[in-house]
């Protein structure tokens, strides 16, 4: 059996990666990378909702063992946590990163070196956390990293608030998409993220992601190579509408969608602004979410574990 090769290697070899970099940079001139469409000139020092200009900010990077089983394997997932976010959930568990901006500016060469360093310590993938607002910066760094030997899959670890047009630009770059389908109800999305259009945006994004990479493919060692891996954070009083989300995945994406139903919600940031979000979920609420997934026909569930994600 031939060894697996990430899609970006062939994309780079054919010269398409350079074209994608230029297209992404042009989008920063009047930024429309994400559904916020702030229309600011990030290349000239302006910034919109994401508070990010022409360079990415990184809060931390490491070999992470708290991710999904097919990403972690024996050596961990090489996570790179980007500072700021385009969704800005008021209950974010990484509030100091997404809202308060803790992190350091990195240029393309530094980001490429981080990727290579994570690969060199044995990480099974490079896992970009909240990448939606720094697509152009990732692509620029990727070109450098590939030319210096990067060869592990890339993970697009997103809140699901992604434009199809931007995702189309990433076709042939990412082998693994890992979006979180957060809310089915537009009113909840508006209250928590000021993003009333989140449910409709997410549905279109998930269809495009699956079109590109299909269902999750796992090798003989249990390591993810390519495909869609979906996260869903259970919220108190079923404010995430788990049954609706799972039904959508089973009907419109694939009943073989690999799903991690997450139990670690706790009130962080400004969660207290919404009465029903001031407490963690109960064991009963979590078990009901698992049952809802199975009843919808979703059977590929990540092993349940109650862990906090930092």
Token representation of residue 210: 């699956």
Please count the structural domains in the chain: 1
Question: Is this prediction's pTM over 0.85?
Answer: yes
Let me know if residue 305 belongs to a domain.
no
In Å, how far are 7, 209, 220 from 231, measured between CA atoms? 23, 14, 23
Confidence of residue 3 (pLDDT cuts 50, 70, 90): confident
Let me know if residue 175 belongs to a domain.
yes
Let me know if residue 307 belongs to a domain.
no
Whole domain around residue 213: which residue ranges?
7-296
Check which CATH number belongs to the domain holding 137 and give it. Answer: 3.20.20.70
Let me know if residue 2 belongs to a domain.
no
CB 229 within 8 A of CB 68: yes
> d(Cα 64, Cα 238) in Å, to the nearest integer?
29
Let me know if residue 302 belongs to a domain.
no
Let me know if residue 1 belongs to a domain.
no
Instruction: Please write the tens of the pLDDT for every residue from 285-297.
Output: 999 999 999 999 9
Let me know if residue 189 belongs to a domain.
yes
Average pLDDT, the chain: 95
Instruction: Please write the tens of the pLDDT for every residue from 117-155.
Output: 999 999 999 999 999 999 999 999 999 999 999 999 999
């Amino acid at each position: 059996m031939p060894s697996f090769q990430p899609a970006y290697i062939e994309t780079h070899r054919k010269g398409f990666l350079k074209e994608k970099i230029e297209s992404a940079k042009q989008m920063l001139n009047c930024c429309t990378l994400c559904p916020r469409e702030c229309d600011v000139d990030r290349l000239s020092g302006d910034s919109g909702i994401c508070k990010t200009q022409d360079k990415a900010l990184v809060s931390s990077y490491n070999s992470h063992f708290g991710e999904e089983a097919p990403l972690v394997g024996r050596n961990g997932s090489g996570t790179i946590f980007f500072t700021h976010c385009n969704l800005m959930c008021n209950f974010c568990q990484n509030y100091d990163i997404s809202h308060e901006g803790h992190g350091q500016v990195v240029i393309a060469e530094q980001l490429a070196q981080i990727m290579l360093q994570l690969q060199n310590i044995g990480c099974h993938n490079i896992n970009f956390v909240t990448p939606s607002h720094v697509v152009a910066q990732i692509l620029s760094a990727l070109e450098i990293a590939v030319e210096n030997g990067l060869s592990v899959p890339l993970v697009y670890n997103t809140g699901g608030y992604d434009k199809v047009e931007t995702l189309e630009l990433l076709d042939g770059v990412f082998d693994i998409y890992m979006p979180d389908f957060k809310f089915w109800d537009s009113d909840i999305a508006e209250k928590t993220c000021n993003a009333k259009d989140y449910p409709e945006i997410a549905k279109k994004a998930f269809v495009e992601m699956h079109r590109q990479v299909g269902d999750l493919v796992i090798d003989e060692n249990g390591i993810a190579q390519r495909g869609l891996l979906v996260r869903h954070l259970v919220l108190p009083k079923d404010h995430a509408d788990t049954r609706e989300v799972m039904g959508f995945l089973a009907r419109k994406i694939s009943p073989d969608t690999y799903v991690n139903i997450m139990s670690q919600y706790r009130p962080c940031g400004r969660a207290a602004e919404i009465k029903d979000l001031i407490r963690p979920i109960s064991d009963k609420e979590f078990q009901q979410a698992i049952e809802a997934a199975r009843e919808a026909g979703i059977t590929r569930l990540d092993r349940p574990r109650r862990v906090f994600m930092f």
